Amino acid sequence: MVAHAVTASPFLALGALPLVALLHRSFRHAQLVDAFRIDAKTGLLNAGTWLREARLETARAARTRTPLAVAIADIDHFKNVNDTFGHLAGDAVLAAIASALNALLRDGDLTGRFGGEEFCILLPGTDAAEARQITDRLREKISRIVTPVSDGTRNDGTGSDGTGSHGTGDGSPLRVTISIGVAALGSTRRDLDELLAAADHALYQAKGAGRNQVCVLAASHG
């Protein structure tokens, strides 16, 4: 628009410059807002933003007595991925899982990355049984994801499972699994902190039971 204004008339160009400056300022503001809200490696909400928004949704669900569940997903043996394939491969795995979460979850669900290899998922309008179905589908789909990894990025001669399998072609196929702990609103859990504590305990149980599985904590555990 400025180029056209300059060609047409210097006076039009002077009039257009304030508008361009305003648009640029608005664009920069939007970028800064996104940077504050979004995790750079995954494009998901960062921990602080997820907590704020999830706390509001949980309070609303408790007040209106509507179902809601929280899930904590953790990548199994993620340290081995970084140690074996390098941090760039680890970042690629994080991005692939984030993409899968965005594709498989519903529009109203809220997903955030909590640093490292941990993700939190808020499932509004979802009871414990439905949350198990949703998260088990996520677990199964993510276990099928193949992240190509260049052989040149490997830190040792073993595959991600420690077997020495390199795959074929230009890179080694890297697969990971996730463990998920789930907790739902109930008479003993009425706020986000209680839900997160219960989901974290369920995640601990899933890890202890062999990983690559979903554990839903019974309401009696609080």
- List the catalytic residues: 117
CA distance 26 to 170: 44
Q: How many CB atoms lie within 10 A of CB 148?
A: 13
Quick one: which of 173, 178, 161, 164 has its CA closest to 212? 178
CA distance 14 to 122: 50
Q: Are 70 and 196 in contact (CB under 8 A)?
A: yes
Task: Indicate the length of the chain as a whole number.
Answer: 222
CA distance 142 to 176: 7
